[in-house]
């Protein structure tokens, strides 16, 4: 039985998002392990475009599609799906598309106008240079100039989806889960443990900050390990 999502106010969601921007995925991954959530990392094929796009942190808004030949002229379901994006969200795109982009510059602009703070794409993107000018972080599986129109079509949104995983073939992403990405990769934090994970990740972050300061002041690594244990 799926857990019931925790309902939070818009202010609480944004406050949590800002706090997550100050912690590293490595610390969050360690916390998830202690909770028995061992398969929350996305595959290493997910790459930031551009590499300087910065940190990604926000609430999952899921979009799913599939290869489905149709006439040129646009995908109204994709437009309807994107219209539902709200502030602080990260769109997470899934599907069986190969060789085609799921979205480009114009959709990124439209989502940003609605307060979306980034995207994770288990597929392709294009217009990378122009998306970079929007300062809109995107982690995607590949890049391609080939459009999805007439090839790949959205067939669902705000539903549980599966994206490629790091330690498992697939990772489940539900609407309202928290997505965190940085130089080390991307994690899915289930909605019901977001608060627990954040508090412990902040504690680990403070501990690491203290360790770095003490190392700079002359503490040896052996002394740090004896004092703080595994870090």
58: domain CATH number is: 3.50.30.40
Interhelix angle 76-83/105-113, rounded to 10 degrees, is 30
Asked whether residue 195 is marked as a ligand-binding residue, the answer is: no
Overall domain count for the chain: 1
216 located within any domain = no
218 in a labelled binding site: no
pLDDT-based confidence at 211, cuts 50/70/90?
A: low
For residue 204, being part of any structural domain is answered with: no
**In which residue are the tokens 């994770």 written?**
120
Cα–Cα nearest to 163, from 145, 141, 148: 141
120 marked ligand binding residue:
no
pLDDT in tens, 165-208: 999 999 999 999 999 999 999 999 999 999 999 999 999 998 87
Which class for 220: exposed (0-12), middle (13-18), buried (19 or more C-beta within 10 A)?
Answer: exposed
Paired tokens of 149:
């129109």
126 among the known binding-site residues? yes
The pLDDT score that the predictor gives to residue 210 is 66
Q: Provide the domain limits for residue 121.
A: 10-191
- Provide the mean pLDDT of the chain: 91
How would residue 53 be classed by pLDDT, with cut points 50, 70 and 90?
confident
Q: Which residues are CB-contacts of 223 (< 8 A; sequence separation ≥ 6)?
A: none
What are the tens digits of pLDDT across the range 116-144?
999 999 999 999 999 999 999 999 999 99
Q: What confidence score (pLDDT) does residue 97 get?
A: 87
8 is in an annotated binding site: no
Residue 19 in this model has a pLDDT that exceeds 80: yes
Top pLDDT among 203 and 5 is at: 203
177 located within any domain: yes
Q: Say if residue 206 carries a ligand binding annotation.
A: no
* 72 lies in some domain: yes
Residue 215: inside a domain, yes or no? no
For residue 213, being part of any structural domain is answered with: no
Residue 205: inside a domain? no
């Amino acid at each position: 039985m799926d857990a019931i999502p925790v309902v939070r106010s818009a202010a609480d969601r944004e406050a949590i998002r800002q706090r997550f921007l100050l912690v590293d995925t490595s610390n969050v991954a360690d916390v998830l392990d202690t909770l028995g959530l061992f398969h929350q990392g996305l595959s290493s094929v997910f790459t930031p475009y551009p590499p300087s796009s910065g940190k990604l942190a926000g609430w999952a808004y899921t979009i799913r599609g599939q290869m489905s030949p149709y006439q040129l002229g646009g995908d109204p379901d994709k437009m309807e799906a994107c219209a539902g994006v709200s502030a602080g969200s990260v769109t997470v795109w899934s599907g069986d598309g190969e060789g085609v982009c799921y979205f480009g510059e114009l959709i990124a602009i439209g989502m940003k106008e609605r307060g979306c703070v980034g995207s994770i794409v288990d597929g392709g993107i294009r217009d990378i240079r122009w998306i970079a000018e929007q300062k809109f972080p995107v982690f995607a599986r590949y890049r391609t100039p080939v459009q999805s129109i007439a090839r790949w079509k959205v067939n669902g949104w705000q539903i549980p989806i599966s994206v490629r995983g790091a330690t498992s073939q697939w990772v489940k992403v539900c609407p309202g889960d928290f997505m965190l990405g940085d130089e080390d990769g991307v994690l899915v934090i289930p909605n019901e443990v977001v608060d627990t994970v954040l508090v412990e990740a902040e504690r680990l972050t403070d501990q690491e900050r203290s360790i770095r300061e003490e190392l700079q002041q002359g503490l040896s690594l052996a002394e740090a390990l004896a004092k703080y244990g595994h870090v």
